[in-house]
Amino acid sequence: MRWDRLWRRTGAVVAAVVAAPVLVAAGGAQAAPPAVEAAPAVDAAAAPAALPPGSPAAVNGQLRVCGVRLCNKDGKEIQLRGMSTHGIQWFSQCVKSASLDALATDWKADVLRIAMYIQEGGYESNPRKFTDMVHGYIEEATKRGMYALVDWHQLTPGDPNYNTSRAKTFFKEIASRHKNKTNIIYDIANEPNKVSWSRVKSYAEQVIPVIRAEDSDSLVLVGTHGWSTFGHSDGKSPSEVINNKINASNIMYTFHFYAASHKDDYLNVLSTVADQVPVFVTEFGTQTASGDGGNNFSQSQKYIDLMARKKISWTNWNFSDDHRTGAVFKSGTCAGNSFAGEGVLKEAGKWVRERIRNR
């Protein structure tokens, strides 16, 4: 979960090119690559999207932390299940009307995690463009009755304080625009790494008040050190978090795992911390920590069963057609408009779709 995690991220721009489908016309000549659908357009003057009656976000409404669990507007403990996009700077073509329709109606997902990288060609390169993309994806998730989990996908540098000023600017605008929605979730630090928990805590206690000044009650998620493993990937103890909690309300701490790499020791960490602080698994895969390689479905099922028992919400990595095994769609799928059913899915996609659908 160290160099291989970094490769999964930073190598993705190369991988997106390598994995892009090559269309061969008759006679062997290469046809032009498929057009990439633009991100949803945003009209600042337009009325915000409404939640469809009976949809997950309409039924559950404003989310609250109750003890160490996540509760809906009625105080009932719930578990959200859904998908994370890949980096929207690379795979926006996979986040469009047809794919989101499939996610909401065929997969029956509760939540869409919108992965906006900060460096690596993301927000830092064009703040206006990426902020508007996120605005658009929030509205698209809302139209389909899903929770919109806005992921500030910092990764390199691993210390989130490097991007504190950017985070404040971004989340102030997002919270101001969407504060009246009941389906918004803010994830302010994806995978802090090579940094102490005290540094992550300091960052969170600067950014959360900016959100709260605009949106006083929506759920906020905070990544933990050691690539969101409560320090376990750095050989640290979860007690560093448990004994030094963030000074804020209605927050949860995030945990990430990749089942082919992260065996029972990680499973035990998740089980332990979930009884002591509120936890949301915002990213996991059935493969290695590289997001690639063989699937370990038996180990993955241990995690799924644990998360079901303890009502730990989760989003799977990732909703794209990247060439790696962790992308749910077969390469080339996102050039088209057919996303429902199992025919377009890799093995991991079939597996996770079934576990989102089956309640």
DSSP labels, 291-347 = S-S---HHHHHHHHHHHHHTT--EEEE--S--SSTTSSBPTTGGGSS--SSSTTB-H
- At 151 the three-state DSSP class reads strand
Token pair recorded at residue 183: 């389906």
Catalytic residue from among 214, 283, 342, 347 = 283
User: Which candidate, 215, 130, 222, places its Cα nearest to that of 177?
Assistant: 215
User: Which candidate, 51, 60, 54, places its Cα nearest to that of 80?
Assistant: 60
Q: Examine the residue annotation and report whether 283 is marked as an active-site residue of this protein.
A: yes
Q: What angle do CA 99, 104, 109 make, to 5 degrees?
A: 115
Catalytic residue from among 139, 140, 191, 240 = 191
User: Which candidate, 102, 61, 100, places its Cα nearest to that of 78?
Assistant: 61
Neighbours of 281 (CB within 10 A): 20
Q: Which residues 6+ apart lie within 8 Å of 255 measured at CB? A: 224, 228, 229, 230, 269, 270, 273, 279, 280, 281, 282
Q: Examine the residue annotation and report whether 139 is marked as an active-site residue of this protein.
A: no
Residues marked active site are found at: 191, 283
